[in-house]
Amino acid sequence: MESITQLFGDLCEAHMTGLSWKVHLGAQKISKKRAKQNLKKIAYNALFMNLFQDETRKVQSNISRLPVKNKILMLSFNLRVGGMGAQADRLEKLVEELETSNCLPFTEVNSVLDLLVQLVGTGPPQLLPQKKDYFLNNKYVGRNVKYQGYDYYDVSVFEADIQSLITNEEYQFNDTIQKTLQIMEAAPGTGLPAIGLFSQNYPVGDKFEKETRVSLFGALVHSRTYDMDIRLDLPPVPDNADLSGLAIKVPQSIDQSEDEGFQSASNLTPDSQSEPSMTPDIDLWDAVLTYGPSKRRCWERIGCPPGRKEEPYLTEAGREAFDKFYRLREGELQLFNNTILQIPQIVLMKESELVKDVLNVLIGVVSATFSLNQAAQTFVIKQGIYVSGTSPESMNNLLSEVAEYGTYYTRLSRFSLQPVLDSSYNKGLVFQAFTSGLRKYLQYYRACVLSTPPTLSLLTISFLFRKLGRQLRYLAELCGIGTTALGISRGAGASFPTGVRLLSYLYKEALNNCSNEHYPVLLSLLKTSCEPYTRWVADYLLYNCAYNNLLVFHLG
């Protein structure tokens, strides 16, 4: 049996057989002896790779654990990726023949295939075909290329697509315009999807078509007026038809024996065309004001009797009708007075007197209509008050809103009273400035109320003071006297902030209400409240006054 050294030598000789050993231009000379030594070295390394390894390196990788067939398929895949599909097919075919062959002298086919896989890529360098040099004779290849400007292309190259699109759209627009003009200039009846009734050369069929075409449709298709010698007339009407609602009023100045729309071609002169119409002018406004409803049935009211169809609303009947209707309903409820319902006594008042009471309660003045509850500091409305044309319930809702504004005004007035500056006063100058700002706002509100003329209606006054009422409600809640009935002591007590805490409180409220209608009022109050504090800071920084410690105590 031959030795392993001789077998490796024969394997290397067989591998190098058929290779070209010519030296090419630009390639390094390859020695045959040295190439054989390299092949032997690779073969011995592949054979004894597992004999001299440490115990820690004996763990094989995931790739070495794969079957030999899978490794060969991976090599075939790499060949396909490299563009050598024919060689990959030949490799797979040879491996299949080797596995299915029964006449091979080798007993360990997998070992032989594993050796071949390990020898992949260990052969001599292969001469690849020379690739095309794309950068040969290229003026932009090389270092320190001199700047030669930029490539210039005409604008038409970039605008070619846009110009073709614009041209196509213009062609479509022109085509649409031409088709529209053809339709507008065509004779009447041209192009209609009919069977030819509007055609001039269409042969007349039965008697009905002849009569309708000659008498009516012929006037539509004729393009000249001298052919229109046919006098139009009303169609025949049955004897039993009701013609009472079809009376046509014709002015007496027009001759009914001739058709006013017919003129021959010889009469088409400028004088005849410019004659004014003899139809009498009708004033539309007078006709509408003097219009009387028809007493006959008409097409607009098929199946309805003549006259009005809608029932009038109760409010459209006037104040007296509403009062009578209300008294009627009240009399019906009086029947249940002794059993279930207790109807309050109603009091009729003139609207002018009620307007005076409303203007008084807006500035906190007590009247016969509005009484003041001293304990709760709220205005109470006298029950059952109404004016002609309204109900006590609706009037009570309107007066409740006005009484609420008067309640807030009264509470704010008491909250912002000028305090007595003695030794017992401990709320500071900031709180005094805040109350002075409140008094300025209440003075502005009082001026608005006093300048309101007493000739306005109750609804108008309620609408005009709605915004000011919302501001009064917000200021009362800001001072802590709006949400509770007995809120006067709470606002003036120790719970209401003073000093710098009051400034922080107003500043936070201004930030939270910067996008609503209360923002200007808050800014005015904040500006007025900050005046003592800013004056103290200015005196301390600029003049370093000696009484600053005492002023800090008075700031609160």
pLDDT of residue 438: 93
Q: Domain range for residue 453?
A: 346-555
- Does residue 377 lie in a domain region? yes
Phi, psi of 370 (to 5 degrees): -120, 120
Q: How far apart are CA 177 and CA 269, in angstroms?
A: 33
Residue 391 lies in a domain: yes
Q: What tokens does 435 get?
A: 């109350």
What mean pLDDT comes out for the span 244-267? 51
Q: What is the pLDDT of residues 266-307, one digit of tens each?
A: 444 444 444 455 556 778 888 878 877 666 655 555 556 556
364 pLDDT more than 70:
yes
Report helix, strand or coil for 416.
coil
Q: Of 405 and 38, which is predicted with more confidence?
A: 405
Number of structural domains in the chain: 1
**pLDDT of res. 444:** 93
Cβ neighbours of residue 76 closer than 8 Å, sequence gap 6 or more: 88, 91, 92
Mean pLDDT of 372-390: 89
Give the tens place of pLDDT for each residue, 198-226. 444 555 555 665 555 555 555 555 555 54
Inside any domain, residue 85: no
In a domain? residue 241: no
For the record, the structure tokens of 304 come out as 């309805």
Q: Note the pLDDT of residue 181.
A: 85
Say which residues have a Cβ less than 8 Å from residue 519's Cβ, sequence separation at least 6: 510, 513
Backbone angles phi, psi at 21, to 5 degrees: -110, 20
460 lies in some domain: yes
Q: What is the pLDDT of residue 440?
A: 93
The per-residue pLDDT for 252 is 52
Q: pLDDT tens for residues 15-33?
A: 888 777 666 655 666 778 8
User: What would the mean pLDDT of 75-94 be, rounded to a whole number?
Assistant: 87
Higher pLDDT, 126 or 371: 371
387 pLDDT above the threshold of 80 = yes
Long-range contacts of 43-51 (CB under 8 A, 24+ apart): 43/8, 43/11, 43/12, 43/119, 44/8, 46/115, 46/118, 46/119, 47/4, 47/115
339 within a domain of the structure (yes/no): no
pLDDT band at residue 265, thresholds of 50, 70 and 90?
very low
How does residue 402 score in pLDDT terms, banded at 50, 70 and 90?
A: very high
Q: Mind listing the pLDDT tens digit for each residue in 310-355? A: 666 777 778 888 888 888 888 887 777 666 566 678 888 899 999 9
Residue 323 lies in a domain: no
| Structural domain contains residue 3 | no
The pLDDT value given to residue 464 = 92
Residue ranges in 191-237 assigned as alpha helix (H)? 207-212, 218-221
Total count of residues recorded for the chain: 556
